[in-house]
Chains A and B, each alone.
Chain A
């Protein structure tokens, strides 16, 4: 089954304790992205990647890191989480193949992060 898998679904941590949210897709998609969703703000892009070893900042990258060492994986790293990073996080992917021009995003099921 084609899917984007995020783990964990829920995570409670304390300020300053490094954490990683994993994201993996099995559709051979070139493009992967991280969003955070906050009430009243919709979804905002954190980072995205067009292919292996190619990453770029989205609208709200501060406090986050990403890496794209393999095509299927795109982990989100919070080196020193703070309470303002408490949010719902989504990983998404899509193909950049010309035959699927502007294909829609496939989303993971989300990770609810709470930083105390």
Chain B
């Protein structure tokens, strides 16, 4: 069974600084997709970024980027120039190619200090 591990229950960063959230996963498959979701206090689940396993290039969305290390099964999220609005729970998620199931990590709570 696939598992997703977020080893940092909480993280904090100063406004305008950079922070990296860790995520590792376990799978024997080669075709899969990885996601980072953000959950602000409003409880909405917002897709931040997505990475296809077959792509070697790391995905980037504005200030958000990932460091995808396929051999190490690692998928960390880097937030540059952190803003107060980035404060939220962040969930890493995995889905096998063609599967209907999305497996989530337990989340990392990010605090942004002014």
Q: Which residues of A contact B (CB under 8 A)?
A: 31, 33, 35, 40-45, 48, 50, 58, 88, 90, 92, 96, 102, 104-105, 107, 109-110, 112
Quick check: A42 and B91 within 8 Å, CB to CB?
A: yes
Quick check: B45 and A45 within 8 Å, CB to CB?
A: no
Interface of A, secondary structure class, is strand
Interface of B, secondary structure class, is loop
Quick check: B106 and A40 within 8 Å, CB to CB?
A: yes
Residues in B1-50 with C-beta less than 8 Å from chain A: 6, 9, 33, 35, 42-45, 47, 50
- Quick one: closest A residue to B1, CB to CB? A59
CA distance A21 to B7 in the complex (A): 33
Of the residues B33, B43, B104, B107, contact of A110 by C-beta under 8 Å: B43
Instruction: Identify which of B42, B45, B47 gathers the most chain A CB atoms within 10 Å of its CB.
Output: B45
CA distance A78 to B85 in the complex (A): 35
Interface size on B (CB < 8 Å)? Answer: 22
Quick check: B102 and A45 within 8 Å, CB to CB?
A: yes
Would you give the shortest CB distance from A60 to chain B, in whole angstroms?
A: 12
Do A58 and B91 form a contact, CB below 8 Å, given A40-B106, A104-B47?
no
Quick check: B47 and A43 within 8 Å, CB to CB?
A: no
CA distance A35 to B91 in the complex (A): 14
CA distance A44 to B107 in the complex (A): 12
Listed by A's residue number, 30 A-B pairs whose Cβ atoms lie within 8 Å are A33-B100, A33-B102, A35-B104, A40-B9, A40-B106, A41-B106, A42-B6, A42-B91, A42-B106, A42-B107, A43-B91, A43-B104, A44-B104, A45-B101, A50-B100, A88-B43, A90-B45, A102-B52, A102-B95, A104-B35, A104-B47, A104-B50, A105-B45, A105-B102, A107-B44, A109-B43, A109-B44, A110-B43, A110-B45, A112-B43
